A and B are shown apart, each in its own frame.
Chain A
Amino acid sequence: MTRGTGRFRKMLVSVGCASLAGAAVFAVMALPEPAVRLAGPVEANMDRSGVTHPVTAVLLNFRGYDTLLEIAVLLLALLGVAAAGGSEKIGLRRLPSAPHAFLQSLTRLMAPLMVLAAGYLLWAGSHRPGGAFQAAAVLAAGIVLLFLAGLLPERLQSDRLLRVGMVAGFLVFLAVAAFPLAGGALLQYPVPLAGALILLIESGLTISLALILSGLFLRLPDEFEEEEE
């Protein structure tokens, strides 16, 4: 496949994308009113879902299967990131330079607050915006901040904790999902237990996701294996 001359190719691609955009805008403006409004049925079934926030109910109950698969995808992505270095172990990257004193003081102040915020977001997800993903994001940011300031506790640096923690969330979710399998379908939480089960799943998810998300940054390989010739 030969590339055209630079300018012609740029113009061709730009015109192509612009016409794609134009066609899409035309299609969107011609859309009729939505035929199906999912907010209604979600609202109608909320009292059977175990939580009172609609997005959390959809994410962990009505469409829980998607979230289960999402955790598996994240796990695979982290394994891919660590494997790109070619080594057999998931290693922590090196801290490039001595951390600045101001960064250290700021981190000592912020890190406990971030953990607290993550815990609150996790709990609040059942009745307000929040939930496992937001809590995990804040917790992951706290872990990365601690690492960059050189203050990451030894326990959080070990590989074993990472491996156990990463998989634990997925396993907890899978266990809770498979547990009703005897009575009905996969992921069909018994209604009186639904709220507690969702909180259990979300706690596991938060820890796992925080380790995975921070791991995506912290385990990015710095050194690479030399290729065998």
Chain B
Amino acid sequence: MIALAFDLLLAASLLWAAFRALTTLDLFRAVVMFIVFGLLMALAWARLDAPDLALAEAAIGAGLAGALLFDSVGHLRARGRSRP
């Protein structure tokens, strides 16, 4: 019962973080929400009895992808093109 409530909350947060990552006007915030989405995905993998996937998603999906995207946003800002 509690587990189902937690899963529903996690699923709702996943959908909300993804929606915000896709639609925020500010690119920087969109990338931040994408990293949040990645970390919530790691939690989802943990709930699905997939600890290997949780490790990989947290390190690669949230960490490395977030770093790459932040770097690109910074590159855009340096060129003065941070309009969405």
**Is there any pair of Cβ atoms, one from A and one from B, under 8 angstroms apart in the complex?**
yes
Residue of A nearest to B58 (CB): A137
Asked if B68 is an interface residue, CB under 8 A from chain A, the answer is: yes
Asked if A62 is an interface residue, CB under 8 A from chain B, the answer is: no
Q: How far is the CB of A90 from chain B (nearest CB, A)?
A: 17
Q: Which of the residues A134, A140, A220 comes within 8 Å of B71, measured between beta carbons?
A: A220
Known contacts A55-B52, A129-B51, A129-B52; is A134 also within 8 Å of B68 by CB? no
Q: How far, in angstroms, from A96 to B74 measured CA to CA in the complex?
A: 10
Asked if A91 is an interface residue, CB under 8 A from chain B, the answer is: no
Q: Which of the residues B52, B64, B68, B71 comes within 8 Å of A141, measured between beta carbons?
A: B64
Residue of B nearest to A131 (CB): B52
Is A129 touching B55 in the complex (CB atoms < 8 A)?
yes
Using a CB-CB cutoff of 8 Å, which residues 30-84 of chain B contact chain A? 51-52, 55-56, 59-60, 63-64, 67-68, 71, 74-75
Q: How large is the interface on A (under 10, 10 to 19, 20 to 34, 35 or more residues)?
A: 10 to 19
Q: How far, in angstroms, from A138 to B56 measured CA to CA in the complex?
A: 9
Asked if A213 is an interface residue, CB under 8 A from chain B, the answer is: yes
Residues of B contacting A137 with CB < 8 Å? 55-56, 59-60, 63-64
Is B60 touching A213 in the complex (CB atoms < 8 A)?
yes
Is B64 touching A140 in the complex (CB atoms < 8 A)?
yes
Q: How far, in angstroms, from A140 to B61 measured CA to CA in the complex?
A: 13
Is B60 touching A144 in the complex (CB atoms < 8 A)?
no
Q: Which of the residues B55, B59, B64, B75 comes within 8 Å of A217, measured between beta carbons?
A: B64
With A131-B52, A138-B59, A222-B75 known, 16 other A-B pairs at CB within 8 A are A55-B52, A121-B55, A129-B55, A134-B59, A137-B55, A137-B56, A137-B59, A137-B60, A137-B63, A137-B64, A140-B64, A141-B63, A144-B64, A144-B67, A217-B68, A217-B71
A-B contact pairs, 18 of them (CB 8 A): A121-B55, A129-B51, A131-B52, A133-B56, A134-B55, A137-B55, A137-B56, A137-B59, A137-B63, A140-B59, A140-B64, A141-B59, A216-B64, A217-B67, A217-B68, A217-B71, A220-B68, A222-B75
